[in-house]
Structure 1
């Protein structure tokens, strides 16, 4: 065990990280700096200050990072239409690089020689935090208590609190699920969800009504895009985090964004989780709609072919890698002409595209696409040679008996 004088801890103020503060002080005989980020999780973060002070913490960082989170992480990811394994919108994954970056920056500001987190040894978050830490400060020491201590249950954590006089809230009716929330999503794991055959309880969901109970009348919204990012909703210009707040509200009210999946974690195991991502679900549908009008075919197809790799990099914790940054450069460049408006109909869990327009950047040419008289804009006879040239290799292979 290396000598540690000061460590910066990603601190939520909950049971796990409160125990970690005391455990770090006791085990490493070091000073602890706490960092609490407001990423729009829907709960007050300021109470973490009093909790940290009660534990003897002298340097306490509590920061509102909502704007930066959506502007510099969520929006760039959605320019890529990123989804992991065909379904997951990466709500937890995309928050970790920002937290890792601030942990390192605070470590530099306070002359700390280590960072710490409350992620378990079974999950993806340990990888994401630590890959980010090492990428931004190669010599930093990382302390992961869940990989070191023997406090492997809620009961043992509570017993540790009793022994060391740590006050923790024992809320009545506390959710049995392990949850993580930010402006993009809320996730649920554990309890009955550990059986992939068992349906999630309706009472579990917090951000959305069930599609069955959503309004019988559809809601229409209009999204305005500039360079691939939403800048206005129904004509009202909003900051990035305000966009997501608004879409979460209207999406949740219409039963949009629920997901129940079994995913492949980077550490090797399969995990069943449920997610609510109402705003992100709307964003993905809208972005693909405006791209369908403004992106060149081969550029759009190239983006689609690269997206699974890009999504995997984020899921696995490689946001700060050269390959992600290279892909981001291509993705951002592709968005130069992704400008215009998309009209969506939200109805009982569905996001339906009903209109899209781009006055200056649309590649849709009605004179060419029409089924009516095109007045010579397109010569249909040209298609014969096009088809024959593309069939040439198939005809040669067929003559050699290779296709059947």
Structure 2
């Protein structure tokens, strides 16, 4: 394999401006171009010179709290109404339900979808599931789509089978694994400086991998492929995606507008315009909610999951299983318990199915970071992200003891 010095990608970028001085409206209303006025971000000629260290970045956290709606039972009043006109007493003529019908109604109300079972309820002789209904408390909020949440994620898990990736680097004569890792590291920089959603980053990396699995790409167009992947993902996921001129500018005007648009068409045609690819980040947010994990624990799981984007050895892992393994490892690192019946129900994975992937993720945290691949670690070492990158990984022997207890 070529030495690191021989595989540098001639990537160019513009990330010198501190995030604290960049307003969101800059990305929405102002197009970046080579003729930008003074004070614009300074261009840099080499990708490995980029840094993702951030100082003074403000955290804007949006909390969505579900409201629990209490259920009130309506009591039917069966009594006598005194008529002032004729003095007759009116009684309710509605027949009372039999005792058998009432018992059947109680049983029907307690029945739920199949799941982990607890002891038999002596009063009804019915085995009741012990997992929590995490969507019930949000049914009153139409923006959370709690009614359809299970169906949505079941559909996403079915679609995973359509987007299974296999090793493709041997089909790329001009690329190698290190080049892909450097490109993804640069894409993390773009996502953070444009303040894009994390789902946009994950989808963009998926688009790049699926395109490379089907088409030969030369190293001089690799950055064009990465920036176009972010453009397509931003159009799919963002309210106000960056414009084409922004992507030309971050590439240091190494490509023409026509080249970017042509690459966009090529990617969409190659993937047959089917770009709704399930990504691990969406599953991770869902599973963290099912575990009722706090924001710091979720951020730790996000950090572990984002590290895998640069690792070629994780591209064939399913998004849902990867998300479940990252969350379980985060729970173990924070000593918050293990896999619960609720998590097993909503993820569909028994804890034993996650052990192998958990070991690999923990070893990934142990690995010494490459000098060229520090974007993710710098990003999550900031106080905005609770400095989760500084949390030491689990001791291997301690992790093995924990895994034995789960079996």
More strand by share: 1
- Which TM bucket (shorter chain)? under 0.3
Q: Whose Rg is larger?
A: 2
* Higher share in helix: 2
> Structure 2 length normalisation: TM-score?
0.23
